[in-house]
Amino acid sequence: MSYRGRFAPSPTGPLHAGSLVAALASWLDARAHGGEWLVRIEDVDGPRCPPGMDEVILGQLAALGLRPDEQPVWQSRRGDLYQAALDRLIASGHAYGCACTRAEISAAAGPKPKHGELIYPGTCRNGTQGRPARAWRFRVDGRIDWQDRRLGTQSQDLTTEVGDFVLKRADGLWAYQLAVVVDDADQGITDIVRGEDLADNTPRQIALQRALGFPTPHYLHTPLVLAMDGHKLSKQNGAAAIDLADPAGRLRDAAAELGLLLQARHRTTQETLAEALLQWREKGQVQRAGA
């Protein structure tokens, strides 16, 4: 059984307690399957990534003993791959140019933004009426059902809940949805283990995989770490960078979020990771839906 997993941080800030849970879970699951574990720096949204933050994250992972099996890749260097995929989607009719401005979309879309984006009203689905395309969108088509190893059967109607989503933005930047799907396929990723906040992106990604003829990986979305106020811990609400004075302790905290209760006495990251791995296996977290 082959297994290739990955951790794919956006270098908008250093790793915090929440992102470490996703990193650790993806590492544990890859190791539990005797698989490979890769790291991909998701810096497509360049303006949001402070210079040098990629190296900060790679340094944090190394200090925690989480070492990738291959050299990391940077999305900012992979634009040719994304363009080739977009060209294929345009040629097959799955993608189209959109001339609408943000103001036009919000005027036509109604008041209810879902999933962070307004549901596109479909104005340019059948052509831009001679106006130049600003962005490129994916033509969605109905419901996607999918399996998550922790959340079970999931379903989302892309037409009514999401709408035709952006692949390449008006400012020329690649959208996360396209970049992540192209990279996961190009890197031969079989298993995606990431935080539950990303679960509702999965149907968009599966739709893109199908349109591009890529296999759909197995999915496992891990529980979110909540801040004191009950909100998801994130860079936006000021989650602190991992304190690396005691990296084994930080791994223990992250393991606890995954339901793994490790002995307190391990001093090294190596011992801590080894015990976490044993427990991940024992808890039966190894099972992959459909595998």
10 binds ligand GLU (CB under 6 A): yes
Give the residue with the Cβ less far from ligand GLU, 31 or 194. 194
Pick from 42, 45, 164, 275 the residue near ligand GLU by CB under 6 A.
42
Q: Is 104 exposed, middle or buried (0-12, 13-18, 19+ CB in 10 A)?
A: middle
Sites for ligand GLU among residues 183-212 (CB under 6 A): 194, 198
8 binds ligand GLU (CB under 6 A): yes
| Cα–Cα distance for residue pair 185/4, rounded to 1 Å | 11
216 binds ligand GLU (CB under 6 A): no
Give the residue with the Cβ less far from ligand GLU, 180 or 276. 180
Positive/negative CA dihedral, 139, 143, 116, 217: negative
Q: How far is CA 178 from CA 84, 150, 269, in A?
A: 11, 25, 35
Give the residue with the Cβ less far from ligand GLU, 22 or 124. 22
3-state helix, strand, coil in the chain (%, to 5): 40, 20, 45
CB of 128 to ligand GLU, least distance (A): 31
Judged by CB under 6 A, the stretch of 8-16, 45-53, 134-142, 259-267 that binds ligand GLU is 8-16
Number of residues that bind ligand GLU (CB under 6 A): 7
Judged by CB under 6 A, the stretch of 5-13, 103-111, 143-151, 282-290 that binds ligand GLU is 5-13
168 binds ligand GLU (CB under 6 A): no
CB of 149 to ligand GLU, least distance (A): 15
Q: Element (H or E) spanning 279, and its range?
A: helix 269-282
- Interacting residues of 91 by C-beta distance below 8 A, sequence separation 6+: none
Pick from 5, 9, 163, 247 the residue near ligand GLU by CB under 6 A.
9
Give the residue with the Cβ less far from ligand GLU, 149 or 266. 149
- Interacting residues of 160 by C-beta distance below 8 A, sequence separation 6+: 119
180 binds ligand GLU (CB under 6 A): yes
Give the residue with the Cβ less far from ligand GLU, 42 or 275. 42
Token duo for residue 258: 């995954």
- Interacting residues of 165 by C-beta distance below 8 A, sequence separation 6+: 117, 120, 137, 138, 140, 175, 177, 204
| Cα–Cα distance for residue pair 73/22, rounded to 1 Å | 18
Is residue 6 within 8 Å of residue 38, measured between CB atoms?
yes
CB of 9 to ligand GLU, least distance (A): 5
CB of 198 to ligand GLU, least distance (A): 5
Give the residue with the Cβ less far from ligand GLU, 58 or 262. 58
Positive/negative CA dihedral, 16, 248, 75, 88: negative
Residues in the site for ligand GLU, rule: CB under 6 A?
8-10, 42, 180, 194, 198
